[in-house]
C-alpha cells in the first residue's frame, strides 16, 4: 500500500520534555511538510523539505526542529522551547514544484501537561 504514515496517533508528554513525531512515506515524493492544526486556525506550516538533507522554516518554526536524512522520513521534534505545544500535527508529502496535491498522514494529537 502506498501512503504516508504517522505515529503515534496520540501522544502525551510532560512539560519540559522534547518529543519526536514520526512521519514516513513510500510515495517516492521529494517534498515533505509538517503542519500544526489548532481549532479555528486551519493548517499552519512548521517546516518543509524539498529534497533530502535540506529543509526550510515555515511560518511557525520556533520551538520545533526537523531532519531529512532519508527521502522517506521527515521526523519533527517538538522541543521544550515551544510555548504551546498541545495541538494536532499533520505531516504531508507531494511531488516537488508548483501545483502538486499534498497527501496527508493521519496525524498525531500531542497533549502536553
Partner 1 sequence: GQQVMQIPQYQHVQEGEDFTTYCNSSTTLSNIQWYKQRPGGHPVFLIQLVKSGEVKKQKRLTFQFGEAKKNSSLHITATQTTDVGTYFCAGQTGANNLFFGTGTRLTVIP
Binding positions for partner 1, rule: CB under 8 A: 33, 35, 40-45, 48, 58-59, 90, 92, 97-99, 101-107
User: Between residues 13 and 44, which has the closer beta carbon with respect to partner 1?
Assistant: 44
Give min distance, CB of 18 to partner 1, in A. 24
Q: Which is nearer to partner 1, 27 or 80 (CB)?
A: 27
Exposed / middle / buried, residue 93 (Cβ in 10 Å: 0-12, 13-18, 19+): buried
Count helices and strands (H / E) in the chain.
0, 11
Q: Report which of 13, 6, 23 is spatially closest to residue 66, judged by C-alpha positions.
A: 23
The nearest distance, CB 74 to partner 1, in angstroms, is: 14
Amino acid at each position: 500500500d502506498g501512503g504516508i504514515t504517522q505515529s503515534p496517533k496520540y501522544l502525551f508528554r510532560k512539560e519540559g520534555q522534547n518529543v519526536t513525531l514520526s512521519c514516513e512515506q513510500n510515495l517516492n515524493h521529494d517534498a515533505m511538510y509538517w503542519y500544526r492544526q489548532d481549532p479555528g486556525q486551519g493548517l499552519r506550516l512548521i517546516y518543509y523539505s524539498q529534497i533530502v538533507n535540506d529543509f526550510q522554516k515555515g511560518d511557525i518554526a520556533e520551538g520545533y526542529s526537523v531532519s531529512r536524512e532519508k527521502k522517506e522520513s521527515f521526523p519533527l521534534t517538538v522541543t521544550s522551547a515551544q510555548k504551546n505545544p498541545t495541538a494536532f500535527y499533520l505531516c504531508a508529502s507531494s511531488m516537488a514544484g508548483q501545483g502538486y496535491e499534498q497527501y496527508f498522514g493521519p496525524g498525531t494529537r500531542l497533549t502536553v501537561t
